[in-house]
Structure 1
Amino acid sequence: MNIKKSFLFLFIVLNSSFSHCQIEIFSQHITLDSIVNSASDELNVVVSHDGQLIYFTRKNHPENIGGTNDKGDVWVSEKSPNGNWSPSYNLKAINSPKSNTIIGFMNVGGTMVLHDADGFKLSYQKKGQWSKLTSFEIPYFNSKSKELTACVSSDGRNILFGMESFGSYGVEDIYISRLNSNGKWTSPKNLGSTINTPNQEITPFLAADNKTLFFASNGHGGEGSFDIFMSTRLDDTWQNWSPVQNLGPKVNTKGREQSFTFLPDAEFAYLSSTQNSDGYGDLKKVKISPDITPVEIEVDTTRVTDIVEEKNIVALSGSVVDKKTERKIIGAQIFVTTEPTNQEYKTLTNSDGEFNLSITEGNSYVVKIRAYQYMSSESVLT
């Protein structure tokens, strides 16, 4: 079939950059009301990348999988078109009678990272459904804490923990594990004495610049039992930090504040606080103005432009699948080279793990696939 088309390939390379984070707080706590909160303890807040979902851990609730003795299930609330939050509900597919804690996401909502009594887990979303949990390991991970708090950086390459472990300065300290180029995680590393004290440092949150850390502590002084603090990483050792700053009385109260989190362009930051709560800890928000420059990544796109020449076009479509689990992979990079012309085309798999390309006809096609935490694959089609 003859179709007049040409393809413009845009290779946008955005170098990683950091900026000093400034955040202004414009309001006192605004509660999310009983439509989201309960008489139980709500904590470990995670906001979805698009800001439309808020995930959290709820403790000892009668609707938890293990009932009131259940130390934690993951719950979720969705933002309605009018901007209000819908009634929260138990995300039963990923919960068990054991303690379940949400940590964050490895990509844009497609892979949830959790921790339970058996270790670290992943769950994959497809068409609104979450898969059964699969395990992954962090070498030499050894938490002595009854409860683990943690977060995943926005680029999915760092996990920070609040835990008591080897080398702790006191009780819980903040540690980091980083994802190597070989797809394996490093052993946890303590962030040092600027951040950590002989008391407790918990609920770390790394802003989208991968440089500015927010955490809760009862060891740096402040308004109440736990306050929210921030510090900026000064180099790539993850040991040198700016002096710790208290976020002030609009965020911190005489109660317990923790799990402070926000998106880079957000109007609100979310947190858990016991101050004036319906039960123990409730989810609340404060109006903010963040000055965050997110870590920028390389982006490859393929676009069809206006009609300029006549070519024979071949439609190429497929999906990228995990060989063991048969799970389709979201955001995998597809590189197709037409031979013998060596013309190259690029695209990404969509939210269903599928891709579609229109390419010029050739004798054969070399298809290369790259995906996060997977070995690359290459095949030749004729």
Structure 2
Amino acid sequence: MKKIITILTLTLSITGSAQLKKEIEKADNYFKRAFYSEAIPLYQEISKKDRSYEVLKNLGDSYYYTKNMGNAARVYNYIVKNYPDKVDDEYYFKYAHTLKAIDDYEEADKVIAQYYEKKDDQLKLKEFEVTKKYLENVRAIENRYTIANLGINTENSEFGAVKFRDKLVFSATKKETTLLDKLYKWDNQYYLDLYEAPLENLYSNDSVAYPLPGKINAKLHEAMATFTKDGNTIYFTRNNYAKGKRNKDNNEITHLQICKAQLVEGEWKNITPLPFNNEDYSAEHPALSDDEKTLYFASDMPGGYGSFDIYTVSINNDGSFGTPKNLGEKINTSGKEQFPFASADNKLYFSSDGHPGFGMLDIFVASVTPAGLSKPDNVGLPVNSGYDDFSFYIDADTKEGFFSSNRPGGQGSDDIYQIVETKPLIIEDCMQFISGTITDEKTNKPVPFASLALSSDKKNTIEKITADANGKFGFDVQCETTYTVIANKEGYTENQKTLYLKKERNKNNDASMPLKSMEQVEIEKARALEEQKAREEAARKKEQEKRANEAIAKENDIIKDRNRVVVKTDEINFDYDLWYLRRDSRKVLDKVITLMKKYPEMIIEIGTHTDIRGDEKYNLELSEKRATSVRTYFIENGIEPERISGVGYGETQPILHCETEESCTEEQHEINRRCEFVIKGF
């Protein structure tokens, strides 16, 4: 029986493995053909049983290419953390893109920084820090455009809008479909066609779009149109499809081609593929230069810098074409560059995920000059976002135009947005100001034409300026820097102030400071000398007084006892329970009276004490009576009342500590019943 169970278990295991392998092969086949929407549910089920790197990588990519960024981020996070030795470098950047798309820019920056640290690529790490600062500067421009979602948008894809006469021409999924129309397996939408809509009704929800007249739209994709100025020629993108046949490469992929057509009696006819198209790669997104002598386009042809690059091809006078040329590494990166647009003011706009951006495809602009193309800049907010932003078009005169984006908040998928440019693209570092007034320290009046020097912790150079006639000065400075301002002028001493600047654009930092005149310096020196002499004289007198007091103390048996200065005398004791002075005590008191008469500034406190016999209240009252008795004797013998005080301490300060009344002898109790003379001052 055990043998049968073992055989059944092994058979089921083999059968399950074979079934799983079959499911993976099916999903992989969809993935290779870019049928991502078909591949996703298969990979989701497979991943419950097989969490291998290849399965999860393809699942993450399928989410990524269908713009499901939340799920893509979750899967990429898993493979980056669990397959660090297998994961390709590109997935760190894909992961960062998905994080930006879900608005987690801080975590996205951490992912890229950790990747460069892992590679120990300090150069790239420094470049990344420069990129972060660049994007902060772009973000600081704030919104450069007003944007509005058009009424022609639907839950499906609309993009690539350009003006053509009194209409807007754009790309969209088929509006009217039949059972014969197929879905595009990439995202499970219908294939794209070219449409037109009246310009005056773009914002209304009942705006109606119509397919371009003629035979431009076929069974597969048509998109991204550009027109000659006379309106008679169109260039556009379509799948490699001719005579009802889809042409494929060795991987069963139908690539994109650029075609042109002529407007004949109101319809687009004579559709002709351009001669540089190829079945093995795509040529897409045509855009004409303002002089119509150059056609810009995107392609993944061999020999480029990344997956898609921007190319140009010359259009000869006879209508023939030159050889396509790559725009080079200034424009193209290891990522994607697509959707070129050439404006009438000699600017090239394009989308890229390889240049410093806010996530996925961002729109960039470079100036076209006789010397070549300038370094491209990010066009900024709110056109660019964490999602795909592309298909930029703008009228150089009116500053009005359109772009497309699949960002959240639209009608769905790709939407067309109308834009108006309201700010120029001026990218500046975070700057602040240091200003102030130089004044005279004594008079508080301005010091005109003082010399100022500015140094920082980031530069070895020192900037020097001169204050104006009102003592005012100012410097333009960078954020996150420590500066020291040094001020001086002939006839004054130098002064300086150090400021620690944080990241807060356009903040004004006050570096006002006073200068001290040399005349004031001399006055203060003389005053300081007088004060020093006074201190020395006071110290001399204090020392003399100390020595005199020491002599007095030595001569008159004045000692320091328990942090007190007391007159040392023979014992003065009181009879038990009495406060009257005994005859033997009066001789001792006469000695103290004589001392006070010898030193008429001496002030003394009489402190009287009891033993512990009796309760505390009674003893306190008894000691006060004894103090009063002694003080009265001093006053009767010529001592001024204000020079002599009496305090009764009761039993609180014994010389000999007695636990009980019986624990001390009568002689010991008598020692505690005493009178002391504390010198309080002279």
CA–CA distance in structure 1, aligned partners of residues 193 and 350 of structure 2: 22
Structure 1 residue aligned with 2:394, among 245, 257, 262?
262
Matches within 5 A, 1:342-381: none
**In the alignment, which residue of structure 2 is the partner of 1:233?**
368
SS at match of 1:205: strand
Check the 8 A contact 2:174/2:191 in 1, yes or no: yes
* Residues 103 and 81 of structure 1: CA distance in aligned 2, closer, same or farther (over 3 Å): closer
CA–CA distance in structure 2, aligned partners of residues 290 and 205 of structure 1: 20
Structure 2 residue aligned with 1:42, among 143, 151, 158?
158
Matches within 5 A, 1:67-86: 68-69=183-184, 70-80=190-200, 86=207
1:222-248 C-alpha deviation (Å, 9 max, x unpaired): 112111100112336xxx321211011
Check the 8 A contact 2:402/2:417 in 1, yes or no: yes
SS at match of 1:279: coil
Residue-pair matches, total = 259
Equivalent position amino acid for 1:266 in 2: T
SS at match of 1:162: strand
CA–CA distance in structure 2, aligned partners of residues 284 and 144 of structure 1: 34
CA–CA distance in structure 1, aligned partners of residues 201 and 418 of structure 2: 18
Residue 89 (structure 1) shift? 2.2
**Root-mean-square deviation (Å):** 3.0
SS at match of 1:285: strand
CA–CA distance in structure 2, aligned partners of residues 207 and 90 of structure 1: 26
**In the alignment, which residue of structure 2 is the partner of 1:27?**
145
CA–CA distance in structure 2, aligned partners of residues 290 and 190 of structure 1: 31
Check the 8 A contact 1:151/1:160 in 2, yes or no: yes
Residue 84 (structure 1) shift? 6.2
**In the alignment, which residue of structure 2 is the partner of 1:216?**
351
CA–CA distance in structure 2, aligned partners of residues 267 and 195 of structure 1: 24
* Residues 222 and 199 of structure 1: CA distance in aligned 2, closer, same or farther (over 3 Å): same
Structure 2 residue aligned with 1:90, among 211, 216, 219?
211
**2:176 is aligned with 1:54:** no
Structure 2 residue aligned with 1:274, among 394, 406, 410?
406
Residue 120 (structure 1) shift? 3.8
Residue 217 (structure 1) shift? 0.5
CA–CA distance in structure 2, aligned partners of residues 105 and 177 of structure 1: 16
Matches within 5 A, 1:130-141: 130-138=267-275, 140-141=276-277
CA–CA distance in structure 2, aligned partners of residues 206 and 125 of structure 1: 22
**In the alignment, which residue of structure 2 is the partner of 1:285?**
418
SS at match of 2:171: strand
CA–CA distance in structure 1, aligned partners of residues 294 and 309 of structure 2: 16
CA–CA distance in structure 1, aligned partners of residues 333 and 389 of structure 2: 17
Check the 8 A contact 1:217/1:228 in 2, yes or no: yes
**In the alignment, which residue of structure 1 is the partner of 2:331?**
195
1:310-355 C-alpha deviation (Å, 9 max, x unpaired): xxxxxxxxxxxxxxxxxxxxxxxxxxxxxxxxxxxxxxxxxxxxxx
Structure 2 residue aligned with 1:112, among 219, 222, 234?
234
* Residues 252 and 83 of structure 1: CA distance in aligned 2, closer, same or farther (over 3 Å): closer
Report percent identity of matched pairs. 24
* Residues 90 and 259 of structure 1: CA distance in aligned 2, closer, same or farther (over 3 Å): same
Instruction: Give the number of the structure whose residues are more often strand, by fraction.
Output: 1
Check the 8 A contact 1:123/1:130 in 2, yes or no: no
Residue 267 (structure 1) shift? 4.2
Residue 82 (structure 1) shift? 9.8
Structure 1 residue aligned with 2:293, among 157, 162, 167?
157
* Residues 81 and 88 of structure 1: CA distance in aligned 2, closer, same or farther (over 3 Å): closer
CA–CA distance in structure 2, aligned partners of residues 146 and 123 of structure 1: 19
Equivalent position amino acid for 1:152 in 2: L
**In the alignment, which residue of structure 2 is the partner of 1:359?**
none
Instruction: Give the number of the structure whose residues are more often helix, by fraction.
Output: 2
**In the alignment, which residue of structure 2 is the partner of 1:243?**
375
Check the 8 A contact 1:151/1:205 in 2, yes or no: yes
Check the 8 A contact 2:236/2:286 in 1, yes or no: no
* Residues 146 and 124 of structure 1: CA distance in aligned 2, closer, same or farther (over 3 Å): closer
* Residues 96 and 193 of structure 1: CA distance in aligned 2, closer, same or farther (over 3 Å): same
Check the 8 A contact 1:266/1:289 in 2, yes or no: no
The answer for unaligned runs of 5 or more in structure 2 is 1-141, 185-189, 242-256, 425-682
Check the 8 A contact 2:309/2:336 in 1, yes or no: yes
Structure 2 residue aligned with 1:123, among 252, 261, 277?
261
**In the alignment, which residue of structure 1 is the partner of 2:284?**
148
CA–CA distance in structure 1, aligned partners of residues 354 and 159 of structure 2: 20
SS at match of 1:166: coil
SS at match of 1:80: helix
Residue 88 (structure 1) shift? 1.8
Residue 203 (structure 1) shift? 0.2
Residue 62 (structure 1) shift? 5.0
Residue 143 (structure 1) shift? 7.3
Residue 92 (structure 1) shift? 5.3
1:227-281 C-alpha deviation (Å, 9 max, x unpaired): 1100112336xxx321211011221112210000012223422000112221111
**In the alignment, which residue of structure 1 is the partner of 2:539?**
none
What is the TM-score with the length of structure 2 in the denominator? Answer: 0.35
Ranked by relative contact order (alpha carbons within 8 Å, sequence separation 6 or more), the top structure is 1
Equivalent position amino acid for 1:224 in 2: G
Residue 90 (structure 1) shift? 2.2
CA–CA distance in structure 2, aligned partners of residues 262 and 184 of structure 1: 28
Structure 1 residue aligned with 2:225, among 86, 100, 103?
103
CA–CA distance in structure 2, aligned partners of residues 290 and 249 of structure 1: 11
CA–CA distance in structure 1, aligned partners of residues 291 and 279 of structure 2: 24
1:19-78 C-alpha deviation (Å, 9 max, x unpaired): xxxxx9743421003xx1111112222222x4x311111136554994544432101111
Residue 204 (structure 1) shift? 0.3
Equivalent position amino acid for 1:264 in 2: A
CA–CA distance in structure 2, aligned partners of residues 188 and 170 of structure 1: 16
Q: After the TM superposition, which of the residue ranges 164-173 and 178-187 deviates more from structure 2? A: 178-187
Check the 8 A contact 2:235/2:286 in 1, yes or no: no
CA–CA distance in structure 2, aligned partners of residues 219 and 149 of structure 1: 18
* Residues 41 and 146 of structure 1: CA distance in aligned 2, closer, same or farther (over 3 Å): farther
Equivalent position amino acid for 1:88 in 2: A
